[in-house]
Chains A and B, each alone.
Chain A
Amino acid sequence: MNANPNDAPLVLKLDKITKRFGALTANGDVSLDLRQGEILALLGENGAGKTTLMNILFGHYVADEGTVEVPGTDGSLQQLEPGSPNAALEAGIGMVHQHFTLAENLSALENILLGTEALTSFKSSRAKARQKLESLMERSGLSVDLNARISDLSVGEKQRVEILKALYRDARVLVLDEPTAVLTPQESESLFSTLQKLASEGLGIIFISHKLDEVLSASHRIAVLRGGRKVSDQPTEGCNKRQLAELMVGKTVPESNRDSKEAGAPLFVLQNVSTGQGRDAITNIDLELLSGEILGIAGVSGNGQGTLAKLISGLATPQSGSIVLNGAPLTTASARQMIDAGIARIPEDRHKDGIVGPMTVAENLAIETIRKPENHRFGFLKFGAIAERAREAITSYDIRCQGDKAPARLLSGGNIQKIVLARTLDASPVVVLAAQPSRGLDVGATADVHRRLLEARARGAGVILISEDLDELMRLSDRIAVIHRGVLSEPEKTESVDRGTLGLRMAGQSKEQAA
Chain B
Amino acid sequence: MIRFEPREPASLKRLILIPTIAAVTALILASIPIAAAGLSVFEAYWLMATGAFGSLFTFTEMLTRATPLILTGLAAALAFRAKLWNIGAEGQLYAGALAAVAVGSGWIDAPTYVLLPIVVFSGALAGGLVMLGPTLLKTRLGVDEVVTTLLLNFIIILFVQMMLEGPMKDPMGMGWPQSEPMLDAAALPKLLPRMRIHAGLIIALISALGIYILLKRTVWGFEIRAVGENANAARHAGVPVTGTFIKVGLLSGALAGLAGVGEVAGLKGYLTADLSPGFGYSGIVVAMLAGLSPIGVIFAALFIASIFVGADSMSRATGVSNYLADLIVAMSLICVLISGIFLRFKVRFIGRKSVEGAGK
A141 at the interface (CB under 8 A from B): no
The docked-state distance in angstroms from the alpha carbon of A302 to that of B77 is: 39
Number of interchain pairs (Cβ within 8 Å): 92
Can you name 24 A-B pairs with beta carbons within 8 Å? A63-B359, A313-B236, A334-B238, A335-B235, A335-B237, A336-B238, A336-B239, A339-B238, A352-B230, A353-B232, A356-B226, A357-B229, A359-B225, A363-B226, A367-B233, A367-B239, A368-B237, A368-B238, A380-B217, A380-B218, A380-B219, A381-B219, A381-B222, A407-B8
Q: Are the C-beta atoms of B358 and A65 separated by less than 8 Å?
A: yes
A335 to B235, CA, bound (A): 7
Check if B234 is an interface residue, CB within 8 A of chain A.
Answer: yes
The answer to whether the Cβ of A494 comes within 8 Å of any Cβ in the partner chain is no
Residues of A within 8 A of B219 (CB): 370-371, 375-376, 379-381
Distance A135 CA – B238 CA, assembled complex (angstroms) = 50
B236 touches A354 (CB 8 A): yes
B90 is an interface residue with CB less than 8 A from chain A:
no
Interface centre among A79, A353, A357 (most CB of B within 10 A): A353
Using Cβ atoms and an 8 Å threshold, which residues of chain B touch A66? 359
List 7 additional contacts besides A356-B230, A363-B222; criterion CB under 8 Å. Answer: A83-B1, A314-B238, A335-B235, A353-B232, A367-B222, A367-B234, A370-B219
Q: Which residues of A, 70-94, contact B by the 8 Å Cβ criterion? A: 79, 81-83
Contact A315 B236 (CB under 8 A): yes
**In the assembly, what is the distance between CA of A93 and CA of B317, in Å?**
66
- Chain B residues whose C-beta falls within 8 Å of the C-beta of A380 in the assembled complex: 217-219
Contact of A82 among B235, B240, B355 (CB under 8 A): B355
Interface positions of B from 86 to 105, Cβ below 8 Å from A: none
When distances are taken between beta carbons in the complex, the residues of chain B under 8 Å from A353 are 232-233, 236
Contact of B232 among A21, A352, A359, A407 (CB under 8 A): A352
Q: How far is the CB of B344 from chain A (nearest CB, A)?
A: 12
Taking Cβ atoms with an 8 Å cutoff, the residues of A that contact B are 21-22, 62-67, 79, 81-83, 313-315, 334-336, 338-339, 345, 347, 352-359, 363, 367-368, 370-371, 375-376, 379-381, 407
**Min distance, Cβ B292 to any Cβ of chain A, angstroms:** 12
Interface residues of B in 54-104 (CB under 8 A from A): none
* Known contacts A313-B236, A335-B235, A64 near B229 by CB under 8 Å: no
Q: Secondary structure at chain B's binding surface: helix, strand, loop or mixed?
A: helix
B229 and A356 contacting across the interface, CB-CB below 8 Å: yes
B residues neighboring A (CB under 8 Å): 1, 3, 5, 8, 217-220, 222-223, 225-226, 229-230, 232-240, 350, 352, 355-356, 358-359
Q: How long is the Cα–Cα vector from A345 to B236 in the complex, in angstroms?
A: 8
> In the bound complex, what is the Cα–Cα distance between A335 and B236 (angstroms)?
6
Are the CB atoms of B240 and A336 closer together than 8 Å? yes
B350 to chain A, nearest CB (A): 7
**Complex alpha-carbon distance, A23 and B8, angstroms:** 13
Chain B residues near A367: list those with CB within 8 A.
Answer: 222, 226, 233-234, 237-239
Residue of A nearest to B3 (CB): A62
A62 to B218, CA, bound (A): 42
Partner of A357 from B5, B217, B230 at Cβ < 8 Å: B230
> What chain A residues lie within 8 Å of B358 (beta carbons)?
64-65
Closest to B227 in A: A356
Whether A347 lies near B359 (C-beta < 8 A) is no
Measured CB to CB, the closest approach of chain B to A415, in angstroms, equals: 16
* B1, B219, B350, B352, most chain A CB atoms within 10 A: B219
| Inter-chain contacts of B240 with A (CB < 8 A) | 334, 336
The reply to whether A356 and B355 contact each other, CB–CB distance below 8 Å, is no
Instruction: Name the contact of A381 in the complex, choosing from B218, B230, B237 (C-beta under 8 A).
Output: B218
Residues of chain B with a CB closer than 8 A to A22's CB: 5
Question: How far apart are B235's CB and chain A's nearest CB, in angstroms?
Answer: 6
Please tell me if the beta carbons of B229 and A358 are within 8 angstroms of each other in the complex: yes
Task: Please name all residues of chain B whose beta carbon is closer than 8 Å to the beta carbon of A407 when the two chains form the complex.
Answer: 8
Output the least CB separation between A274 and chain B (Å). 23
- Closest 5 CB pairs between A and B? A336-B238, A335-B238, A356-B230, A367-B237, A353-B236
Known: A315-B236, A353-B232, A356-B233. A62 touches B355 (CB 8 A): yes
Whose C-beta in chain A lies nearest to the C-beta of B214? A379
Nearest B-chain residue to A82, judged by Cβ: B355
Judging by beta carbons under 8 Å apart, are A355 and B217 in contact?
A: no
Complex CA distance for A79 and B3, rounded to whole angstroms: 22
Q: How far is the CA of A16 from the CA of B236 in the complex (A)?
A: 43
A446 to B163, CA, bound (A): 66
Q: Which residues of B contact A358 (CB under 8 A)?
A: 229-230
Q: Once bound together, how far apart are the Cα atoms of A481 and B353, in whole Å?
A: 60
Q: How far is the CB of A481 from chain B (nearest CB, A)?
A: 24
Nearest CB in chain B to that of A63: its residue: B359
Shortest distance from the beta carbon of A24 to any chain B beta carbon, whole Å: 12
Q: Give A83 to B351 CA distance when docked, in angstroms.
A: 11
Say yes or no: B235 contacts A315, CB within 8 Å. yes
Task: Please report the C-alpha to C-alpha distance between residue A171 and residue B238 in the assembled complex, in whole angstroms.
Answer: 47
| B303 shortest CB reach to chain A, Å | 26
CA distance A368 to B222 in the complex (A): 11
B218 contacts A379, C-beta separation under 8 Å: yes
Complex contacts, A63 vs chain B, CB 8 Å: 359
**Bound: A64/B232 CA distance, A:** 36
Within 8 Å CB of A375, what residues of B? 219
Q: How far is the CA of A357 from the CA of B234 in the complex (A)?
A: 11
Bound CA span A413–B237, Å:
18
A371 to B226, CA, bound (A): 13
B188 to chain A, nearest CB (A): 29
